[in-house]
A and B are shown apart, each in its own frame.
Chain A
Amino acid sequence: MTNFKLIPDRSPEIILSALRKKAPEFFTSDEYLRLARLDPKFKENPGLICAAFTKLLCAKLERQEDADKYFEIIEEWASSKDSEVENYLVTEVFENVRLPKLGEARFKSELGPISRQIYERWMEDPPEDRMSSRSGK
């Protein structure tokens, strides 16, 4: 019988450490602080943190502000090879991109190579193709 070993979820640490290192101002932004308005523990929820980060990023892009380091953070998350982080990248970052003025293509154009690959795979490929690519077709 196989012995399973519980691997601790490293995604919160990966997400938070990148933010602390490259965008510490995020933790004082309205988008982040709003999380605690409903419940203080939401400030530690990686999914909600990623969603708040995306809101801040989109706001900066819409205001034509420099957002390079935010894309570096996304690239760092994409490079982590952590499946949960990759999942958050898709469900909480890519799916939440709202750029009514610039268009979402602008967002994609700013992505690094690894994160762009993830974006194309999960956001653009039809699900059926994804299934076939996973099964080796």
Chain B
Amino acid sequence: MITTLLLAFALLSASPGTAQDEKRPPESQPALTAETEATKAAPELARLDQVLTLAQEAKQQGRLAPERYEGFLKQFRGSLDTARAVTPPSPAASALYARILARLGEPQEALATLTPALEQDPDNPNLRVALGHVRYEEKDYPAAHAEAEAVLKRDPTNKEALALKYFSRGRTSGVSGAAGIAPSAALPASGLEEASILHNPRIVEAGRRALARQSAISLTDKAMGRLKIDDPREALRFLALAEAIDPGFADVPMQQGLAYRDLKQHATAVERFTQAEALWRAKATPRSVELAGLAGKLRESETAELNQNTKVVESPVSQPKNSSTPLPLLPVGLFTAGALTAFSIYRSRQTAVSEDGLNPEPQVPDDNAHRNWMTSAKVAGVAFIALATWEFGPGALAAGRVLLSTIGPSASPAIVPAVAGSGTGIGAATAITAEEAIKLGLPVAVGAYGAKRAAENLYSKASSNSSATQGGTSQGEPDRDRLLRRAQDPDLRDSIDNLYRKNAKIGSGSSMDAYRYEAKTGIKLSKSGHGEKLIARRDQLMRVLRKPGLSSVDKQITKDLLIDIQNALSGL
């Protein structure tokens, strides 16, 4: 066993943060927090303090025989002297050294350490609190209480002093204190007396924790009473004391959240609720959560190993980060995708009402159908990614961004199920880990990108096949009717209507073909021909081409018309 302790000693020396976090239960975290200053000032002493805690705990639990504990103490004393010698003198180091000595049952030595330091800096809170702890170990509880009070006069928020005050007051008064702590709740006297008799610091520490929790419970009960009578400020006062005594008690931040909510300080309330949730989780969640909490404190290599261990223990099936009921992502997704697809088909086939009264009325052209598909795909994608993000956290959002960025400015019918499937896939994959979600999301994104390119190619082919404006009719339909059916812009439709005569017999019935006829035969089809008309329409169409928001189909028609006009005017 002594070997184990020495090994622990060595491990603590090598990586103090790791061993410290793993070995100490959550309840001891407040003590660590309070010792932060001392840990920074005297890291060697801080490590020895932790080793001493382990050893005393092992002894208390019977895992370390008394004779071996004595052997450990000899070795420990040597290490302590060495650490004291190499530690730069500071109030924090002196305070920590004194507290270790007190725990070793050497209060006089501890006082001898503190006295010169206090002569130099009599108001130093670390030294005063350490002195209070020494007095406490000496069972001089009034003196310990007085030291705590002295520190609290200058710094009412000093948590160490607050805790010492309540521990020592409970020991001394035997009646309700100023804060109203019931003696029965504040002091399980028999337990502490036994601990004192045994002189075991671990038992004393455990007793302190139990006492702190009971005191905190008492204070939170009082705070709840204040909340019920709409006095959140007084409730917060009780809760501040409870937090000082037992910072790991989740009920405290929860009630603080309620109080801040009553005070309309919603941001602070949310922060308090979040802390309460974190404390509850730290206590009650499976090993994976505890490991996840520890993972942030470990080095990267250790994190990888930890994750691997976690996967062995936990189910490989995804577990939502959110504790609420998981969304039925797949059925919702399929339904949404189906509805959007059907809507797109409907919109693409729907005949719009012509506002300009021209015959034929325009259908929703290829461009609009294309736009409908694109909108549907994007809506479906965003909806799925939003659902996945809500369900599985920000990892899905990251993967979704990758996916959406590949869709780009266009989409095809193939994109809708692709996006829907990707959203679902991303959500499911993110449930495992964010890294795996990215891994799965990327192939899906690449697939979507390929589908997008294929759709673009198909679309551009279809567009080029239907872009001709000259050369008579196509599939029996006059150019005028075909162009009017495709064009959407009212000014463009007006120009087409002017340029193409219904039931004309020369060429395609366009003014361009009329001009070509006039140029070729010398026979005018009006008094002075159609040249003037073509020039006026050319000017008009050039303005149409500059219109913002002109669809790609309208642009193409305009360009083709302009080329046709220019060719006609040039004798082509």
Binding site for B on A (CB under 8 A): 34, 37-39, 42, 45, 47-48, 51, 55, 59, 62, 83-84, 86-88, 90-92, 95-96, 98, 100, 122, 127-128, 130-131
Contact = CB atoms under 8 A, between A and B. Distances in A.
Given A37-B491, A83-B528, A131-B523, A92 B533 contact: yes
Contact of A45 (B357, B501, B506, B536): B536
A37 B547 CA distance: 10
Contacts of B191: none
The winner among B358, B524, B526 for most chain A CB atoms within 10 A is: B526
B506 A127 contact: yes
Contact of B544 (A38, A91, A95, A128): A38
A108 to B, nearest CB: 14
B530 interface: yes
Contact of A47 (B494, B521, B533): B533
A131 B525 CA distance: 10
B359 A91 contact: no
A91 B502 contact: no
B543 interface: yes
A127 B547 CA distance: 38
- Please name the 3 residue pairs, one residue from A and one from B, whose CB atoms are nearest each other, closest first: A90-B526, A38-B543, A87-B527
Given A95-B511, A127-B506, 15 more contacts: A39-B539, A42-B543, A47-B532, A47-B536, A48-B536, A62-B357, A84-B532, A87-B526, A87-B532, A90-B527, A91-B511, A92-B498, A122-B527, A127-B517, A130-B523
A31 to B, nearest CB: 9
A81 to B, nearest CB: 11
A90 B531 CA distance: 13
Interface in B536-572: 536, 539-540, 543-544, 547
Interface in B336-361: 357-359
A59 to B, nearest CB: 7
Contact of A122 (B494, B497, B526, B532): B526
Contacts of A62: 357
B172 to A, nearest CB: 92
A91 B358 contact: no
A87 B529 contact: yes
A86 B536 contact: no
Interface in B484-507: 490-491, 494, 497-498, 501-502, 506
B498 A51 contact: yes
Contacts of A34: 490-491, 494
A48 B540 contact: yes
B543 A39 contact: yes
The winner among B506, B525, B530 for most chain A CB atoms within 10 A is: B525
Contacts of B547: 38
Interface of B: 357-359, 490-491, 494, 497-498, 501-502, 506, 511, 517, 521, 523-530, 532-533, 536, 539-540, 543-544, 547
A96 B528 contact: no
18 contacts: A34-B491, A37-B491, A38-B491, A38-B540, A42-B540, A47-B532, A55-B494, A86-B527, A87-B527, A87-B528, A87-B532, A90-B527, A91-B511, A95-B501, A127-B506, A127-B523, A130-B524, A131-B523
A98 B497 contact: yes
A88 B533 CA distance: 8
A79 to B, nearest CB: 14
B409 to A, nearest CB: 27
Contacts of A48: 536, 540
B355 to A, nearest CB: 11
Nearest to A126: B505
A59 B532 CA distance: 25
Given A47-B533, A98-B358, A98-B359, A91 B526 contact: yes
A87 to B, nearest CB: 4
Nearest to A54: B498
A95 B534 CA distance: 13
B497 A91 contact: no
A62 B502 CA distance: 17
A60 to B, nearest CB: 12
A47 B526 CA distance: 13
Nearest to B517: A127
B498 A96 contact: yes
Contacts of A98: 357-359, 497, 502
Contacts of B533: 47, 91-92
Contact of B530 (A37, A91, A128): A91
A38 B550 CA distance: 13
Nearest to A96: B498
B359 A127 contact: no
Contact of A100 (B359, B501, B524, B532): B359
Contacts of B543: 38-39, 42
B532 to A, nearest CB: 6
A96 B533 CA distance: 12
Contacts of B544: 38
A62 B540 CA distance: 26
Nearest to B546: A38
Nearest to B543: A38
A113 to B, nearest CB: 18
Nearest to B503: A104
Contacts of A95: 498, 501, 511
Contacts of B529: 87
Contacts of B528: 83-84, 87
Nearest to B358: A98
A54 B311 CA distance: 80
